[in-house]
Amino acid sequence: MSKHTFPFSSTSLRSLRLEQDFQEWEDARRALAQRRAIVSAPLPRAPRPPPRQQRLQEVRAPPPQSRCRDAAIHNTFMYGDMKGVYAVLKDPGMVNALMETVHEEMVWIPEMGLWTLTSKVKQTSALRLAAGSGHAACVEELLFRGAEVNADPGGCAALHDACAGGHSVCVQMLLCHGADPELLAADGSAPLHLCSSAESLHCAQLLLEGGADVNVRMRESRLTPLHAAARRGLEGHVELFLSHGADVSATNREGETPLNAACSGAERPTEAGRFLRVVQKLLGAGADPRTAGRKQHTPLHNACANCCPRIVEVLLEHGAKADTPNSAGYTPMDCLLQVVEDYQNQHPEAIARSLLNHGAPSVPPKMLKQCLVSPATLEVLLNSYPSVPPCEWMESLSVEGCEEHRPFLDLARGRSGQPRSLQHLCRCALRQHLGAGFHAGIQHLDFPGSVKEYLLLCNDGTLH
């Protein structure tokens, strides 16, 4: 063998072919980039023939759309493998091809009375896969090669996926290439509705700068973007939407406002702080805490059902009614008593105290049993009575239930039916005289702080 030659093995030949393919891809990309940079003047319009010489224009059917069920190709766009993208896009039909996935699902057939395995086809596109995963280089390449920016295979466009993922670079790129910022998905949601995470704040800002309507409605539920942001406690989104003129009094199909959405969304105690700030921003923008939905459920009902003391206090300070029943006849106090056992560590006694100080009537004695797990709440409620009501319900308690809170329960049982102190009767008389305006009126009285706390039913662990 000559010293100027070397053996060609299968591995070396394959390596040379791959290197040649990669070089072809690079040459094609440079050529496309060069054509992209060239700006040529438009050609003059061709002269039209006289009317008598006009011919019928030939109408040709568009070529059939390509379909792809190859999972490897789907992953190429989903994971932004640019080398694989160049290889796939050597076929121009793959730019706008329908990417289909087949899922096997169990479906109940009532006619046959059994479950059956059914294949369900879901559609998407290369542009949707890339935009939803935030691969800006892949999105740019697809748009440059003619990807349809507003195509919505599977019911969503690429802009919806980019907003849902919080990928602002992709959102900006899609908008610059003509994406419709108000395009509704199959479920009726606009891109602004899908900006539902803290990371999507810049996406929402880009959409509004691109002409999106801040008060756009979902097709069926009639939700606005402000509803969606308030429901998730997105403080930055709420502030952004309000600064662009979002309607705080807009109601959805159930008649609920963004304020009601914020109060119903504060379900986790760890998130109560940011929901409180959202509620304060909405109230500062003019939201009415007395607006109720079709079921007459007010924001105060929701805040009590989620046991959020600070939100309840803020709503009451802005005029919420403490004694308004909903369509089922439940007042905010009823909503609180139904969840005391679930939120006994979230200071339900503070909510009960706020409601009573803002005009809520004393609860019926038969409902006191629901406060057994929270002696502090029971104390507040018992101190709202001129006399301790009979406690027959205590006789039915289990030994374990009594043992945990025996000192206070023994005190309540001993005071049952006994006259209260003159000091307590004076407190009840003053509270009854001021009525619903008690909380506001007590602040104007020249009383020591300790006396005011006593009048406001602050807990001291006893029954006077």
pLDDT per position as a tens digit, 197-242 = 999 999 999 999 999 999 999 999 999 999 999 999 999 999 999 9
- How far, in whole angstroms, is CA 77 from its chain's centroid? 28
Q: Three-class SS of residue 122?
A: strand
pLDDT at 103: 74
More confident: 408 or 150: 150
| Cα–Cα dist 304/352, whole Å | 9
pLDDT classification of 188: cutoffs 50, 70, 90: very high
What's the pLDDT tens digit per position in 249-270? Answer: 999 999 999 999 999 999 888 8
Residue 400 reports pLDDT greater than 70? no
Q: Where are the domains of the chain?
A: 249-361, 363-464
Residues 321-364 pLDDT 10s: 999 999 999 999 999 999 998 998 899 999 999 999 999 999 98
Cα distance between residue 160 and residue 154, in whole Å = 12
Least confident of 46-55, 268-277, 429-438, 440-449: 46-55
pLDDT of res. 387: 86
> Does residue 56 have a pLDDT over 70?
no
Higher-confidence residue of 433 and 65: namely 433
For strand 98-109 and strand 114-125, is the pairing parallel, antiparallel, or unpaired? Answer: antiparallel
Residue 63's pLDDT band, with cuts at 50, 70 and 90, is low
60 against 126, higher pLDDT: 126
- 88-108 tens-digit pLDDT: 999 999 999 999 988 777 878
Is pLDDT above 50 for 85?
Answer: yes
Q: How far apart are CA 300 and CA 222, in angstroms?
A: 22
340: tokens are 């005391």
pLDDT of 1 above 50? no
**If phi over 0 gives left and psi between -120 and 50 gives alpha, with beta otherwise, what is residue 260?**
alpha
Which is more confident, 175 or 57?
175
Q: What is the per-residue pLDDT for 418? A: 78
Domain 249-361 adopts which CATH fold? Answer: 1.25.40
| Cβ atoms of residues 457 and 357 within 8 Å | yes
Q: What is the pLDDT of residue 117?
A: 76
pLDDT of the residue at 403: 63
Maximum mean pLDDT: which of 11-15, 24-28, 40-44, 138-142: 138-142
Average per-residue pLDDT for the chain: 86
